[in-house]
């Protein structure tokens, strides 16, 4: 026999954030959300499927329209508890004053559990008490979610104590900020509302977790592909007699930079799709370091390894030795950035994105019997910068709740940014070594790293993704 798919109806007063909570819980950005009360007028069910199999469904409902009168009717009702909802709907279905109340109770007839959403940043009113009492009279398993639309928390304790009288489970859940972990915790607390639901919700939670891991594995593969394309890149073109070597070098350099930008965009687009951000762009804050070009001064200043880590990397990876020595020798009153200038042969002069790869140091250019060969990349820092950019993008994407629609961003943390704001500079030596070996391997093998090397790099990436998704720095 097919197991029943658990269903939860998200109910509450108009404009409290019901649709936003649903959108975040179901990871579905097609849910309609609006600042105008009364946006949702009909029930709509959003199934959550994993590998094509529906495992749970959430139903969006209109807000209560006439809770006081509905409650009065129910309190005067003399029939049995089992027929209360059906009889209420039958008695009011033609009355436009109760249109929304009838609609929102409908899913309960087919056994849906209740998720009651309130905006906990406002005070409790009698109307709310009426709505809670209606839900209690339905006898359906139910939980309450406090979704604070504003920062205000003064009313929270009052809400919680009122909720204890009416609900088996209570959770604070911010539909615009909730993370993966908070979604799982919310599902966990749904188990508390009805013993019968426990086994099936355990399966749902396990499926969510497996799916999340599967997505992490796919992200790791995307990143590995990007790094292989970026770092093992090599091209060789003829330099006909009389042709201008500099022009040709320039063109090769431009081609490479273009390709890399495209590959990175492609990788990030796929990441977005994996996390089901299909409609909205999850725009980056204007202050985000990811707004900077891959080869901008700021990017290389704030991401990747610091100077001493780079020196160590150079000593290990052989091919990057030149880079390491340069770092040490460059003097460097401007910190890591002039280091890059030094690395690139620009010798600490003004940095131009275009110059970054045009020297022979980073990409490696050789002129050999009238053939100009570029690549593979010589500077291991490119790998760390790319890693940091993808991790930061991942963090941005997974922490962008699906119910979030506005693009207001918090202001930057402070004027004094730390020296490095990526992840890799915080890594210990053993993690960095894995990257250095992977890098060296790509240089030696030409196009792809050997499978053992690739797997240890994949493991490192997956581990970092997990740390980020379990509440690492965002």
Ligand X SMILES: Nc1nc2c(ncn2[C@@H]2O[C@H](COP(=O)(O)OP(=O)(O)OP(=O)(O)O)[C@@H](O)[C@H]2O)c(=O)[nH]1
Contact residues toward ligand X (CB under 6 A) are 12, 14-20, 33-35, 37-40, 62-63, 147, 149, 174-176, 405
Binder among 12, 13, 19, 275 for Mg ion (CB under 5 A): 19
Q: Which is nearer to ligand X, 106 or 174 (CB)?
A: 174
Q: Which is nearer to ligand X, 31 or 319 (CB)?
A: 31
Burial of 14 from C-beta contacts in 10 A (0-12 / 13-18 / 19+) = middle
- Shortest distance (Å) from residue 14 CB to Mg ion: 8
Q: Which is nearer to ligand X, 31 or 230 (CB)?
A: 31
Q: In the complex, what is the shortest distance from the CB of residue 28 to ligand X, in angstroms, rounded to a whole number? A: 13
Nearer Cβ to ligand X (11/457)? 11
CB nearer to Mg ion: give 19 or 24.
19
| Interacting partner of 379 out of ligand X, Mg ion, none (Cβ under 5 to 8 A depending on kind) | none
CB of 123 vs ligand X, minimal distance in Å: 17
Report what 178 binds from Mg ion, ligand X, none; CB cut-off 5-8 Å by kind: none
If contact means CB under 5 to 8 A according to the sort of partner, which of ligand X, Mg ion, none does residue 16 touch? ligand X
Q: How far is the CB of 208 from ligand X (least distance, A)?
A: 21
Q: Which does 63 bind (CB under 5 to 8 A by kind): Mg ion, ligand X, none?
A: ligand X
Q: How far is CA 234 from the centre of its chain?
A: 33
Single out the segment in contact with Mg ion by CB under 5 A; choices: 19-27, 185-193, 202-210, 256-264: 19-27
Residue 174, contacted partner among ligand X, Mg ion, none, CB below 5-8 A by kind:
ligand X
Cβ proximity to Mg ion, 16 vs 264, nearer residue: 16
| Window contacting Mg ion (CB under 5 A); options: 10-18, 78-86, 268-276, 321-329 | 10-18
Q: Other C-beta atoms within 10 Å of 415: how many?
A: 5
Size of the site for Mg ion (CB under 5 A): 4
CB of 5: closest distance to ligand X in angstroms?
23
Q: How far is the CB of 42 from ligand X (least distance, A)?
A: 10
* Number of CB atoms found within 10 A of residue 25's CB: 28
Nearest partner of 332 among 314, 353, 311, 313, judged by Cα: 311
| Contact pattern for Mg ion over residues 324 through 363, marking x by CB under 5 A | ----------------------------------------
Classify residue 321 by burial, with Cβ atoms within 10 Å: 0-12, 13-18, 19+.
middle
- Min CB(185)–ligand X separation in Å: 16
Tell the smallest beta-carbon distance from residue 18 to ligand X (Å): 4
Q: At closest approach, how far in Å is the CB of 145 from ligand X?
A: 10
Pairing outcome for strands 235-238 and 169-172: unpaired
Residues 6+ apart with CB under 8 A from 167: 116, 132, 142, 143, 144, 193
By beta-carbon proximity to ligand X, the closer residue of 81 and 152 is: 152
d(CA 348, CA 3): 67
40 or 65, CB closer to Mg ion?
40
- Kindly tell me which of 107 and 314 has the beta carbon lying closer to ligand X: 107
Q: State which residue, 37 or 335, has the beta carbon closest to Mg ion.
A: 37
Out of Mg ion, ligand X, none, what residue 147 binds, judged by CB under 5 to 8 A for its kind, is ligand X
CB of 187 to ligand X, least distance (A): 18
Which of 11, 16, 29, 40 forms a contact with Mg ion (CB under 5 A)? 40
Q: Which span sits near Mg ion by CB under 5 A: 12-20, 211-219, 240-248, 276-284?
A: 12-20
Q: In the complex, which residues of this chain contact Mg ion (CB under 5 A)?
A: 18-19, 39-40
């Amino acid at each position: 026999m097919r197991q029943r798919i658990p269903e939860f109806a998200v109910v509450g007063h108009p404009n409290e954030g019901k649709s936003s909570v649903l959108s975040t819980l179901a990871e579905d950005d097609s849910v309609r959300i609006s600042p105008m009360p009364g946006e949702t007028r009909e029930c709509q069910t959003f199934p959550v499927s994993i590998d094509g199999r529906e495992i749970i469904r959430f139903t969006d409902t209109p807000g209560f329209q006439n809770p006081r009168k509905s409650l009065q009717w129910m309190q005067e009702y003399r029939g049995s508890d089992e027929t209360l909802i059906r009889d209420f709907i039958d008695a009011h279905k033609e009355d436009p004053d109760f249109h929304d109340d009838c609609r929102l109770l409908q899913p309960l007839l087919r056994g849906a559990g209740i998720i009651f959403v309130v905006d906990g940043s406002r005070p409790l009113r009698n109307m709310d008490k009426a709505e809670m009492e209606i839900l209690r009279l339905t006898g359906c398993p139910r939980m309450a979610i406090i979704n604070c639309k504003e920062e205000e928390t003064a009313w929270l304790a009052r809400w919680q104590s009122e909720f204890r009288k009416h609900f088996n489970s209570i959770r604070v859940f911010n539909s615009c900020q909730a993370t993966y972990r908070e979604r799982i915790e919310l599902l966990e607390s749904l188990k508390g509302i009805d013993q019968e639901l426990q086994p099936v919700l355990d399966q749902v939670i396990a499926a969510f977790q497996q799916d999340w891991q599967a997505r992490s594995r796919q992200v790791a593969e995307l990143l590995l592909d990007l790094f292989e394309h970026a770092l093992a890149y090599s091209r060789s073109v003829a330099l006909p007699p009389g042709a201008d070597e500099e022009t040709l070098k320039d063109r090769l350099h431009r081609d490479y930079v273009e390709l890399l930008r495209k590959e990175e965009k492609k990788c990030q687009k796929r990441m977005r799709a994996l996390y089901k951000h299909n409609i909205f762009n999850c725009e980056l804050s204007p202050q985000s370091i990811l707004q900077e070009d891959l080869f901008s001064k700021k990017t290389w200043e704030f991401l990747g390894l610091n100077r001493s880590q780079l020196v160590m990397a150079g000593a290990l990876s052989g091919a990057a030795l030149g880079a390491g020595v340069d770092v040490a020798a460059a003097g460097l009153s401007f910190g890591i950035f002039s280091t890059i200038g030094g690395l690139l042969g620009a010798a600490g002069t003004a940095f131009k994105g275009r110059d970054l790869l045009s020297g022979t140091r980073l990409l490696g250019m050789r002129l050999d019997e009238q053939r100009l060969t570029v690549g593979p990349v010589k500077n291991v820092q490119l790998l760390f910068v790319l890693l940091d950019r993808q991790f930061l993008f991942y963090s941005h994407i997974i922490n962008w709740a699906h119910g979030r629609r506005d693009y207001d961003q918090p202001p930057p943390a402070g004027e004094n940014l730390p020296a490095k704001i990526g992840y890799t500079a915080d890594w210990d030596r053993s993690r960095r070594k894995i990257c250095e070996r992977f890098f060296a391997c790509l240089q030696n093998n030409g196009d792809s790293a050997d499978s053992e090397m690739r797997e240890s790099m994949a493991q490192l990436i997956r581990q970092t993704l997990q740390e980020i998704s379990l509440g690492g720095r965002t």
